[in-house]
């Protein structure tokens, strides 16, 4: 499968021009964990899988069913700029801080999703058992 890199770069460059909008009232009420200006919502493994698959499909202009969660991101032709853009958008969606190089440590939809779920579990443990 050949991927037209110019389309990927167009999507990425357009993403750089977007305005950051304040969180809407709807978003605040949707998230029961919104407190003191912090938007935190845990996502399920399936939600993370689906978000990553939809993101890649849109970015690559392919059908979501063509994305295999076990195949490394670089197999889809993602370059470093696109990978950092994906991580930034994921960070925004999850409302948590992520290392921009995260997808190099967890290079597939499956491994990245599992890592994020483990991170949520660890954070829950810390918040539910304050010292």
32 located within any domain = no
pLDDT digits (tens, 9 = 90+) for 12-57: 445 444 443 333 332 333 343 444 444 456 789 999 999 999 999 9
Q: Establish if 81 belongs to a structural domain.
A: yes
Beta carbons of 124 and 42 less than 8 angstroms apart: yes
Crossing angle (nearest 10°) for helices 109-128 and 45-60 = 140
CA distance 116 to 55: 16
CB 45 within 8 A of CB 114: yes
CATH number of 71's domain = 1.10.1200.10
pLDDT tens, 48-90?
999 999 999 999 999 999 999 999 999 999 988 999 999 999 9
| DSSP secondary structure, 85-122, as one string | HHHHHHHHHHTS---TTHHHHS-BHHHHHHHHHHHHHH
Q: Output the pTM of the full model.
A: 0.65
Beta carbons within 8 Å of 103's beta carbon, 6+ residues apart: 73, 78, 83, 86, 87, 112
| Count of structural domains within the chain | 1
* Tens-digit pLDDT profile for residues 107-118: 999 999 999 999
Q: Which domain holds residue 112?
A: 38-128
Q: Residue 92 above 80 pLDDT? A: yes
Asked if residue 9 belongs to a domain, the reply is: no
């Amino acid at each position: 499968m050949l991927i037209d890199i110019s389309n990927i770069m167009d999507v990425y460059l357009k993403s750089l021009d977007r305005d950051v909008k304040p969180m809407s009232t709807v978003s605040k009420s949707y998230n029961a964990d919104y407190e003191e200006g912090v938007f935190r919502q845990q996502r399920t493994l399936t939600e993370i899988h689906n978000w990553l698959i939809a993101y890649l499909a849109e970015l690559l202009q392919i059908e979501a069913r063509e994305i295999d969660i076990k195949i490394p991101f670089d197999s889809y032709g993602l370059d470093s700029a696109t990978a950092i853009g994906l991580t930034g958008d994921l960070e925004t969606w999850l409302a948590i801080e992520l290392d921009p190089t995260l997808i190099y440590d967890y290079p597939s939809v499956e491994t990245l999703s599992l890592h994020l779920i483990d991170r949520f579990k660890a954070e829950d443990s810390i918040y539910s058992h304050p010292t």
